[in-house]
Structure 1
Amino acid sequence: MVTTTTPQDTAAEQQVRSVIDAVYEAWTANDADAFVTHYAPDATAALPGSFRDGRERIRAAMAAGFEGPLKGSTIRDEIHSVRFLGESRDAAVVVARSTVVLAGETDVPEDRWVRVTWALERTGADGWLVVAYHNCAD
């Protein structure tokens, strides 16, 4: 299958990447409320050993993390691809490789990197929203 990129896709890709950037900026600020600003109310987050169903549960889990083991941490993220789905191109799948950099760390062990999949939907009033997030061992 050949995928063609239109000028609209280029602008949309920048918008999608800016949503992910905003999520990670909120992580760096340890701000759980800002972290979920770009999540749909019914978003899901699936991680090894954890499933979070809904924006409020995601927010609560991140708030607990930011008060505990994730306090002062940041994210390193390498986006591999951004693909748009369907004729309307109002859905996007982003594949990336990410790791948590804990407070005080400069180097991260290779085994802490994970493969990440984001699903986003373009909505009228809210722009792009994260509808699903998943990560697994790289």
Structure 2
Amino acid sequence: MPATATRWGNATRILKAAGVEEDTSYYRTFDSENEKAVLSVALRIQAAWAGNDANAFADCFAANGSLLMRNDQLKSREEIRAYMAEGFRGIFQGAHVQGGPLSLRFLSDDVATVVTEGGIVLAGASGVAPDRRIRATWVIVRGEGGDGGDGPQLLSHQSSPIS
């Protein structure tokens, strides 16, 4: 992984500010401060799913963020917020996600990509059903605070089913 000279922030502080408990096991082998700050986005997304909180979910995205989920392409934070609010009242009520990072790469001082594997665990299920397993690509941008103080933001998230 190329080193990035720019600080992305402190994962512990980013998560605390979002009201999310840090699960250090999620980081796996990605243990630099910048890598952990980037992965704080995924931890915030998991916490939003666990709480069925559409606002917390959408707030992980940049204002012009994009989410491709199932057959729906959402093109802004507000579209994402509305979609997830409807989902958490309907098909995703009581659902949460499980998974973890497979790769993380800094494309520049301000952009990173992450590939994760996991899936949605529907209410009452004990794990990700085989037909719900996905691999996801995340494009994460450094927060606008200059030193990453406001935390990384999700610019694009796309998931694909795997078998």
With the length of structure 2 as denominator, give the TM-score of the two structures.
0.76
Q: Which structure has greater strand proportion? A: 1
**Aligned ranges for residues 1-138 of structure 1 at < 5 Å?**
3-5=1-3, 10-86=32-108, 89-125=109-145, 126-138=150-162
Q: Which residue of 1 aligns with 2:28?
A: none
In the TM superposition, what is the alpha-carbon distance from 1:66 to its structure 2 partner?
0.3
In the TM superposition, what is the alpha-carbon distance from 1:6 to its structure 2 partner?
6.7
Q: Distance in 1 between matches of 2:62 and 2:4?
A: 26
Aligned residue pair count: 134
In the TM superposition, what is the alpha-carbon distance from 1:36 to its structure 2 partner?
1.3
In the TM superposition, what is the alpha-carbon distance from 1:134 to its structure 2 partner?
0.3
Find the residue that maps to 1:118 and give its secondary structure. strand
Q: Distance in 1 between matches of 2:42 and 2:54?
A: 14
Find the residue that maps to 1:127 and give its secondary structure. coil
Q: Distance in 2 between matches of 1:108 and 1:14?
A: 24
In the TM superposition, what is the alpha-carbon distance from 1:4 to its structure 2 partner?
4.2
Identical columns (%): 34
In the TM superposition, what is the alpha-carbon distance from 1:107 to its structure 2 partner?
3.5
CA gap of 1:108–1:12, structure 2 versus 1, over 3 A, is same
Report if aligned partners of 2:121, 2:129 keep a CA contact under 8 Å in 1.
no
Q: Which residue of 1 aligns with 2:24?
A: none
**CA deviations over 1:23-81 (Å, ceiling 9, x no partner):** 11011101101111121000011133110010000010000000011111110112101
Report if aligned partners of 2:2, 2:106 keep a CA contact under 8 Å in 1.
no
Runs of 5+ unmatched residues, structure 1:
none
Find the residue that maps to 1:124 and give its secondary structure. coil
Runs of 5+ unmatched residues, structure 2:
9-31
Q: Distance in 2 between matches of 1:56 and 1:64?
A: 12
**CA deviations over 1:103-138 (Å, ceiling 9, x no partner):** 111143212101100001002323210000001112
Q: Distance in 1 between matches of 2:99 and 2:58?
A: 18
With the length of structure 1 as denominator, give the TM-score of the two structures.
0.89
Report if aligned partners of 2:97, 2:121 keep a CA contact under 8 Å in 1.
yes
